[in-house]
Structure 1
Amino acid sequence: MTTLLHILTHNVIPLTIMIGLGMLLQRAFKLDIKTLSKLNFYLFSPGVAFVMLYNSSLSFEVILEVLLFFSIFFIALIVVVEIVVRLRRYRPGMRSAMRNSVLFYNSANYAIPLNQLVFVNDPFTLSIQIIIMMMQNLIPNTYGVYSVNAHKQTLRQTLRTIASLPTIYVIPFVILLRVFDIPVPEPIWIPLNYIASGFIVTALVTLGVQLGSMNWSLRLADVLLSNALRLCVSPLLGFLVVLLLGIQGTTAQALVLSCAVPTSLSSVLLAVEFDNEPEFASQVVFASTLFSVFTVTIVIYLLQYVG
């Protein structure tokens, strides 16, 4: 019960308040959702990726183990989602929206504080989550952009769109800075910290603005299907991959927990920026965040049987 209340008060309620403020602002002022989306894609997302990756301490062995786990897990999740969308016979736009709602999960502003709550500020498990966050930051800006545009753009146009996104350059750039131990000058580091601090607020307000401006014709079956895949099937797959690879102990627990978090705001930002089922994407993020207080608590309880 204590864990449930902590997750509720430290994750779900704060997120919901920020989303609610975005909805109120939209009702009062009719904000431009496209401008907010571009701020997220071209300023706040690359900023937070830079700061978090630069500040993390990662060993080569942990990186390889986590990347192997993530690759197998992600491919398995793609296969499951692909089977579902084909059985449901979705049209192309809805196929990509459903894929993104399951494949892209909240590995930063939800999973990182959750990781540190469960593992009591353990820097080792934080490093594991940072690697997952890095991959979950990179994939929406590459595969995610391709997914929402493949049915309406040529491959060259889609690749041009991907090449225009700064996050895909930020990640290898930060890795080079870390490898060669290059310090970031203070006049640059200070504004980068300001930008990173603004990511969560801007992303959540953007979601609220989208929710406040959409027609609430709830697509209950599709939303619940996405939530079930994200919150229930995903951690189960994570557990199976951990067993397959023989990963044990705290590493195994941290990896399974990383798979259990709700749908990422990236799916909403992609949907809004490229006009691909934005109402469905917004409803999925909102619902999965609320339902996660129950499903994540169950996963935390079951971690004692992992590893």
Structure 2
Amino acid sequence: MSYFWYILLNNVVPLTVMIAIGVVLYRAFKLDIKTLSKLNFYLFSPAIIFKMLYESSISLVILGQTLLFFFLFFALMFILAEIVIRLRRYQGGMIPAMRNTVIFYNSANYGVPLNQLVFVGDPFTLSIQIIIMMMQSLLPNTYGIYSVNASKRNDMRKTLRTIMTLPVIYIIPLAFLMKGLDIPVPGPIYAPINYISNAFIATALITLGVQLGSMKWELNFSDVMLANVLRLLIGPAVGFGIVMAMGIEGVMAQALVLSCAVPSSLSSVLIAVEYDNEPEFTSQVVFSSTVFSIFTVTSVIYFISFMT
């Protein structure tokens, strides 16, 4: 039990403190969430994705295993979300809203610092989390935006134009291309990339706090709790089942299961707000899953410590 409290105090609480600072800053200064979200989407997130992919030593074997794990996990969570949607008979915008809060999770501004806290800066586990983050950066900005607009029958050409303006779509192949061809980044350009990427974790967690501070603190209990169960409890259980089925062991298995345990993604809220698609429900899920993750993530970390 002492180890459980050690994990809570040293791994999870530091993230919560940063998020709480964002809440306080919003309450004090009414920071603009849209400005912060644009900084994350168009500046901080592309910078850290490029830097991590460019500097990482990701072998093809690890890349292949992690991508296979991710697509299996994504497919199974998608199916589970669809079952819930049909059983609950959701209509209109609630369909993509529920789906997005389950399949999109905070692999970047929550998952990366969590990974580095739990595994004490291990570059191997970081490379695994970077691959997950890469996919979780790409999918909300493509499929997530498409699904919301499809449910509202919006102009798909306009939607595709919006998707094509997002830097992450170009940053990922550019980073792999430059790394694969061993193309150096000029010092005067790489220095700003380093400065910006170093600010990513703090800025992203504070942004999440600002969003949580700006929303209504009341829950649509049944639907919100259902999304929380799928994301925080069923998610890591499905991840554990996949690593067992794939025969993955050791620290890689731990890192993969941990990557499934994080709360719903801020990108779900940004999409919901931007396209007026159940923003209250989505914000409530992100808020509550972030709060509940203090306990569920701690439990998952405690559990994976016994995986060998």
Same topology, TM > 0.5: yes
Secondary structure of 2:219 counterpart:
coil
The aligned residue for residue 26 of structure 1 is: 26
Secondary structure of 1:92 counterpart:
coil
Structure 2 residue identity aligned to 1:163:
M
Q: Deviations along 1:28-72, whole A, 9 cap, x unmatched?
A: 444433323222222222122112222211001111111111111
**Which 5+ residue runs of structure 2 have no aligned equivalent?**
none
Structure 2 residue identity aligned to 1:127:
S
In structure 2, how many angstroms separate the alpha carbons of the residues matched to 1:160 and 1:187? 32
Q: Please tell me whether the aligned partners of residues 38 and 273 of structure 1 are also in contact (alpha carbons under 8 angstroms).
A: no
Secondary structure of 2:288 counterpart:
helix
Larger displacement relative to structure 2 (120-129 or 41-50):
120-129
Larger displacement relative to structure 2 (246-255 or 20-29):
20-29
- Does 1:294 find its partner at 2:295? yes
Larger displacement relative to structure 2 (2-11 or 92-101):
2-11
Larger displacement relative to structure 2 (27-36 or 93-102):
27-36
Q: Please tell me whether the aligned partners of residues 268 and 278 of structure 1 are also in contact (alpha carbons under 8 angstroms).
A: yes
Give matches, 1:48-197, under 5 Å. 48-152=48-152, 153-197=154-198
Among the aligned pairs, what percent are the same residue?
A: 64
Q: Please tell me whether the aligned partners of residues 239 and 256 of structure 1 are also in contact (alpha carbons under 8 angstroms).
A: yes
Structure 1 residue identity aligned to 2:131:
I
Measured after TM superposition, the shift of residue 7 of structure 1 is: 4.2
C-alpha distance 32-175 of structure 1, shift in aligned 2 (>3 A): same
In structure 2, how many angstroms separate the alpha carbons of the residues matched to 1:223 and 1:49? 31
Measured after TM superposition, the shift of residue 2 of structure 1 is: 4.6
The aligned residue for residue 215 of structure 1 is: 216
Larger displacement relative to structure 2 (76-85 or 234-243):
234-243
C-alpha distance 125-35 of structure 1, shift in aligned 2 (>3 A): closer
Q: Deviations along 1:276-303, whole A, 9 cap, x unmatched?
A: 2233222222222222232223323333
In structure 2, how many angstroms separate the alpha carbons of the residues matched to 1:239 and 1:91? 32
Measured after TM superposition, the shift of residue 103 of structure 1 is: 1.0
Q: Please tell me whether the aligned partners of residues 31 and 209 of structure 1 are also in contact (alpha carbons under 8 angstroms).
A: yes
- Does 1:237 find its partner at 2:238? yes
Measured after TM superposition, the shift of residue 224 of structure 1 is: 1.4
Q: Please tell me whether the aligned partners of residues 25 and 209 of structure 1 are also in contact (alpha carbons under 8 angstroms).
A: yes
Q: Please tell me whether the aligned partners of residues 106 and 264 of structure 2 are also in contact (alpha carbons under 8 angstroms).
A: yes
Structure 2 residue identity aligned to 1:140:
P
In structure 1, how many angstroms separate the alpha carbons of the residues matched to 2:91 and 2:151? 10
Measured after TM superposition, the shift of residue 243 of structure 1 is: 2.6
Q: Please tell me whether the aligned partners of residues 11 and 118 of structure 2 are also in contact (alpha carbons under 8 angstroms).
A: no
Q: Deviations along 1:174-193, whole A, 9 cap, x unmatched?
A: 00011011121121112112
C-alpha distance 255-15 of structure 1, shift in aligned 2 (>3 A): closer
Structure 1 residue identity aligned to 2:52:
M
C-alpha distance 214-178 of structure 1, shift in aligned 2 (>3 A): same
C-alpha distance 177-290 of structure 1, shift in aligned 2 (>3 A): same
- Does 1:35 find its partner at 2:35? yes
In structure 1, how many angstroms separate the alpha carbons of the residues matched to 2:177 and 2:307? 35
Q: Please tell me whether the aligned partners of residues 13 and 294 of structure 2 are also in contact (alpha carbons under 8 angstroms).
A: no
Q: Please tell me whether the aligned partners of residues 249 and 307 of structure 2 are also in contact (alpha carbons under 8 angstroms).
A: yes
Q: Please tell me whether the aligned partners of residues 104 and 268 of structure 2 are also in contact (alpha carbons under 8 angstroms).
A: yes
Structure 2 residue identity aligned to 1:43:
L
Larger displacement relative to structure 2 (257-266 or 116-125):
116-125
C-alpha distance 92-4 of structure 1, shift in aligned 2 (>3 A): farther
Q: Please tell me whether the aligned partners of residues 264 and 285 of structure 1 are also in contact (alpha carbons under 8 angstroms).
A: yes
C-alpha distance 289-92 of structure 1, shift in aligned 2 (>3 A): same
Number of aligned positions between the proteins: 307
C-alpha distance 201-150 of structure 1, shift in aligned 2 (>3 A): farther
Larger displacement relative to structure 2 (78-87 or 246-255):
246-255
Q: Please tell me whether the aligned partners of residues 111 and 262 of structure 2 are also in contact (alpha carbons under 8 angstroms).
A: yes
C-alpha distance 216-123 of structure 1, shift in aligned 2 (>3 A): closer
In structure 2, how many angstroms separate the alpha carbons of the residues matched to 1:238 and 1:103? 12
Measured after TM superposition, the shift of residue 146 of structure 1 is: 1.3
Secondary structure of 2:151 counterpart:
coil
Q: Please tell me whether the aligned partners of residues 145 and 158 of structure 1 are also in contact (alpha carbons under 8 angstroms).
A: yes
